[in-house]
Amino acid sequence: MGIQITPSILNADFAALGAEVARIPGADWVHVDVMDNHFVPNLTFGPTMVEALSKTTDVPLDAHLMIEDADDNALAYVEAGCGSVTFHVEATKAPVRLAREIRSHGARAAMALKPATPIEPYEDLLAELDMVLVMTVEPGFGGQNFLDLCLPKIRRARAMLDQQGIETWLQVDGGVSLETIGRCAEAGADVFVAGSAVYSADDPDLMISRLRATAETAAPHL
C-alpha cells in the first residue's frame, strides 16, 4: 500500500474549497473534518457540503466524524460520496455494527481514538476496520502542536496489526509536518493527515511530495 498523504481542508479557504482541493492533485485522499460543536468545540461541515465537494474532485474523500451521533449519521457521509468514513470510538455505541454498516454501503470504515484513549481494549475490533486513526492532538482545531506522547500508542497499534496479519491502515492526525512525520512513520503509521503543513506552504502539492518522501525514508515496515 505504501505511504499515503491525506491533506485536511480544515486549513483551506472555505469560500473556495473546490479550488483548494484542485491545488493538491498529488494527494491520496482529501481529509474532511466534520465537527458538531458537541463532541468537539468547533462546528464545520455537514453532508450537503461534502456532497458538493465530492462532485468537484476525483480525489476520494476521507470523512473524519468528530460528532456525538456517528451511529445515526455516518451513512449520510457515505451517501454524500465519501470513500472512507471515520467515527470516534468514544462517541459510538456499537462500533462493530457501525463499521459493518459503513463497509456494506461501499466505503472504508475507520475508528479514531483521542490521545488519552488506549488502543488495547479494541484489539479484537481491528479486523473489522479498514483503518485506525490515532489522534496526535486533541480533536477540534487545526494548527495544534504534535503530541509525542502518542508515539508509543502508534507503535502498539502497529504491533497489534502486524501480529494479526491484517491490512488495516494506521493513520495519524494532528501536528503532522516535515518535523514530525518521520517519527510517526518510524513508529508504524502509513497514512498521514496534514492540514497546516500543506495549506500554509507556497506550493501545497510540492509539500505533499516532501511529506511523502520524508515518511518513506523513515518507515521501517514498508
CA distances from 173 to 122, 135, 151, 180, 192 (A): 19, 5, 12, 11, 6
Q: Please say whether the beta carbons of 203 and 23 come within 8 A.
A: no
End-to-end CA distance of the chain: 9
Instruction: Residue 190: name the closest of 200, 181, 202 by CA.
Output: 181
State the CB neighbour count (10 A cutoff) for residue 122: 19
**Identified catalytic residue from 33, 36, 62, 190:** 33
- The residues near 102 (Cβ < 8 Å, ≥ 6 apart) are 74, 75, 78, 85, 108, 109
- The residues near 174 (Cβ < 8 Å, ≥ 6 apart) are 135, 136, 137, 138, 139, 144, 146, 147, 193
Say whether 173 is catalytic: yes
**Identified catalytic residue from 28, 62, 173, 190:** 173
Q: What are phi and psi of 152, to 5 degrees?
A: -60, -35
State the CB neighbour count (10 A cutoff) for residue 100: 13
Cell for 178?
Answer: 516535515
Instruction: Residue 154: name the closest of 194, 113, 195 by CA.
Output: 113
The set of catalytic residues is 33, 173
